[in-house]
Structure 1
Amino acid sequence: MTEFTEIPVLDLAPLITGEDTTQLAADFADAYGNIGFAYVVNHGVASDLCKAIFAISRQFHDLPDAAKQAIALDSTHRGYIAINTSTDVNSDLAEVTKPNQSASFMMMREDAEPDPDLYLSGRNQWPVLPGFRDACEAYAKAMTELGYQLMGLALDAIGTTDRSILSAFKTPTIWLRLLHYPPLPPQAPEDLYGSAPHKDFGCLTLLAQDDVGGLQVQTPAGQWVDAPPRDDAFIVNVGDMLHRMSNGKLLSTPHRVINATGRERYSVPFFFDPTVSATIKPLPGTGSPQFEPLNFGDFLKGELEASYDAHQADPSGPQPKTG
């Protein structure tokens, strides 16, 4: 990892149009092998979908509290997450004692017939808001397609010719989160964050931001570099699971959100991960394994139970399937 002062930009046009991606894979390896974050442009996702998801997010967060609490986060991690209800207690990047200053709606894959034995299998909870479900599902579909393409590019970037892991992304674990950050109060304490310093625990995060800003990425020297919004781009970063799959070649980099602008901030992260039954381990061709295999569902269960009341351990409840 190298010191940096700005976030690089990757042009995905060759990937989207089916042209030669040799140089793009090299650029991907450089960006994610040294920084872990990049803007991606020419990504193929229609701007109308992006505008619609931000519009519907604002409408949702403007609903009365009772309407949002009616779909409060459940044990399958779907629904409304109110402000002051999630804390990054597992963070080893800062002493986190205060909840994140954000509220959000969480959508995952819609399982028509939930499997009670499969961790996080379920149906989404939808608010009474015209057009909300359609906007979320259309956006999630487009982002799922882009996520799958980016995973293929990541495999090229780390030099593995084995594509078998992509089967774990055919029925992926997806998380669409509609986030609202109120402005932090004047003279807020230093340890009060919109989102506390953390690394993402999955594979890929594809983030759309409004024009407010507040996202910062940490350098190896501990400095915080702004990642300001760009109308034409998503910010994409690597999470811990892809870091492990790549045998450490791709970096999962700490980041945080501080909304000190005095304005309301909205962002839409989309997390693209393998099925919960996937075994996460260094992929063939990446060198001598630096990480032990782990089951993704078991890992998720530990992370979610540590941070959300809705996931507190219930020995009589569903357990992750392994495989």
Structure 2
Amino acid sequence: MLDAIPIVDIRSSTSAVDDRAVATLLNAALSQFGFCYISGHTIATEVTQNLQNSAHEFHLLPIAKKKRLKINPYHRGYIESETSQTITSSIESATQPNRSESFMMMREIPPSDPRFGTQLFGPNQWPDTLIPELKKHCIAYAEAMEKLSLELVQRLGVALGLSPNTLLDLFNDPTYFLRLIQYPLLDPNDSPAPFGSAPHTDHGFMTLVLQDDTGGLEVLNSNGRWIPVSPIPNTLVLNVADMLSIISNGRWKSTPHRVILGPEPRQSTAFFFDPDFDAQINPLVEVRDSDNRWNPIRYGDYILERFGQNYQYRRK
């Protein structure tokens, strides 16, 4: 069916990362949709609930207090609604900015790190006096998600017909972004109706999304129709991003997706898991063909170019 995003239970038979049954399901889902639901993961309910509760507290703060944490040059902090717009994408440019706000954090970088203060290597910003628990809950969730993501990297290697270790060299010091997103309800007076997130593809390797029960995420299927990615309890939504599509030589598409606004606000937690900042991205030799569609790119250069186009704070 072209209308049902598959569910892949990564603990359906064994926990082994080279489980061929799971690999077959992953390959089928990502070849057809570039998306799947992941069930059977080991992220503790307490960890997800703590983070969602703290995120909800943050989004309830007055905007003046949130703006004290305005996103810094290292892409960490508060992103105000209508300050991001899909200008550079693998698909068409959006005509309106996104109607959503978010809080962004990355891996904690100590000032002693020689990279500190360069590119995306800088301090996170925390509302310590307003929501003291947010930092702890973000870091706990990010650490659990990084562990799961590295497991999935191995499973994706097997899904490509290769060994579990094939892709691991790209992730010696992986980049990740944890984004706590709040979408408002749709204002019926808006015309045309704005997107919570306009149609786009993700820039990195893969994205894992924890949804609330509201809905609104949609994926463009191969027939050119938008289909819902409805919330399913105890699952995460995995989608292929641009780097993984290149690495797989286009076998797995970085699929356009969007968020439409509805009658209720929506909260989403997106974990973008990406390679080392200096990783060189090419199609794997084992899956490459004679059609050389991609030139080698450095992941860090690609992500900085996309951010520079799509975020107002980087265009000033």
* TM-score normalised by length of structure 1: 0.91
Residue matched to 1:120: 120
Q: Does the CA-based 8 Å contact 2:17-2:151 persist in structure 1?
A: no
The more displaced of 280-289 and 206-215 is 280-289
Tell me which of 47, 50, 54 is aligned to 1:49. Answer: 47
Stretches of structure 2 lacking an aligned partner (at least 5 in a row): none
CA displacement 1:176-220 (0-9 Å, x = unmatched) = 000000011115334510000011111110000101000011112
Aligned-residue CA RMSD (Å): 1.9
Q: Superposed, which structure 2 residues align to 1:218-257 within 5 Å?
A: 218-257=220-259
Residue matched to 1:109: 107
CA displacement 1:147-169 (0-9 Å, x = unmatched) = 11111111111123483541331
- Using the alignment, how far apart are the partners of 1:307 and 1:209 within structure 2? 24
- Using the alignment, how far apart are the partners of 2:44 and 2:135 within structure 1? 18
Q: Does 2:302 correspond to 1:304?
A: no
- Using the alignment, how far apart are the partners of 1:302 and 1:31 within structure 2? 30
Q: 1:90 to 1:43 in 2, by over 3 A?
A: same
Q: Measure how far apart 1:139 and its partner are.
A: 0.3
CA displacement 1:47-88 (0-9 Å, x = unmatched) = 111111110001001112222111101110000001111111
Q: Measure how far apart 1:19 and its partner are.
A: 7.0
Residue 36 of structure 2 aligns with an amino acid whose one-letter code is: A
Residue 44 of structure 1 aligns with an amino acid whose one-letter code is: T
- Using the alignment, how far apart are the partners of 2:14 and 2:236 within structure 1? 15
Q: Does 2:277 correspond to 1:279?
A: no
- Using the alignment, how far apart are the partners of 1:162 and 1:130 within structure 2? 39
Residue matched to 2:132: 130
Q: Measure how far apart 1:290 and its partner are.
A: 3.5
Q: How many residue pairs align between the two structures?
A: 310
- Using the alignment, how far apart are the partners of 2:13 and 2:273 within structure 1? 18
Residue matched to 1:99: 97
- Using the alignment, how far apart are the partners of 1:91 and 1:277 within structure 2? 21
Residue matched to 2:30: 32
Q: Measure how far apart 1:284 and its partner are.
A: 2.4
Stretches of structure 1 lacking an aligned partner (at least 5 in a row): 314-323
Q: Does the CA-based 8 Å contact 2:34-2:240 persist in structure 1?
A: yes
Q: Does the CA-based 8 Å contact 2:157-2:166 persist in structure 1?
A: no
Residue matched to 1:207: 209
Q: Measure how far apart 1:291 and its partner are.
A: 1.8
Q: Does the CA-based 8 Å contact 2:105-2:179 persist in structure 1?
A: yes
- Using the alignment, how far apart are the partners of 1:41 and 1:92 within structure 2? 29
Residue 51 of structure 1 aligns with an amino acid whose one-letter code is: Q
What's the % identity of the aligned pairs?
Answer: 36
* TM-score normalised by length of structure 2: 0.93
Q: Measure how far apart 1:97 and its partner are.
A: 1.7
- Using the alignment, how far apart are the partners of 2:300 and 2:93 within structure 1? 27
- Using the alignment, how far apart are the partners of 1:166 and 1:19 within structure 2? 13
Q: Does the CA-based 8 Å contact 1:209-1:268 persist in structure 2?
A: yes
- Using the alignment, how far apart are the partners of 2:204 and 2:296 within structure 1? 15
Tell me which of 280, 293, 298 is aligned to 1:295. Answer: 298
- Using the alignment, how far apart are the partners of 1:190 and 1:271 within structure 2? 30
SS of the residue corresponding to residue 287 of structure 2 reads coil
